[in-house]
Amino acid sequence: MRQNIKKNLIILAITQLIILIILFLYHHKITLIHYIDISFYFTAGFILLSLLLYTIHSGFYDIISKSFNTAFSRDREKRKFEDVPGLSELITLDEKPLLFHGLFNGLLMIAALIAYYF
pLDDT higher for 118 or 83? Answer: 118
Annotated domain spans of the chain: 2-117
Mind giving me the DSSP string for the chain? -HHHHHHHHHHHHHHHHHHHHHHHHHHSS--HHHHHHHHHHHHHHHHHHHHHHHHHHTTTTHHHHHHHHHHHTTTT----GGGSPPHHHH----SHHHHHHHHHHHHHHHHHHHHHH-
pLDDT at 85: 86
- Is pLDDT larger for residue 74 or for residue 37? 37
| pLDDT level of residue 74 (50, 70, 90 thresholds) | low
How do residues 4-62 score in pLDDT, each as one tens digit?
Answer: 889 999 999 999 999 999 999 999 988 999 999 999 999 999 999 999 999 999 999 99
Most confidently predicted of 64-73, 79-88, 93-102 = 93-102
For the chain, the average pLDDT equals 91
Whether the pLDDT of residue 3 is over 90: the answer is no
- The structure's pTM equals 0.85
User: Residues 92-113: what's their mean pLDDT?
Assistant: 95
pLDDT confidence of residue 100? 95
Query: What are the C-alpha distances in Å from 77 to residues 29, 73, 86?
Result: 58, 6, 18
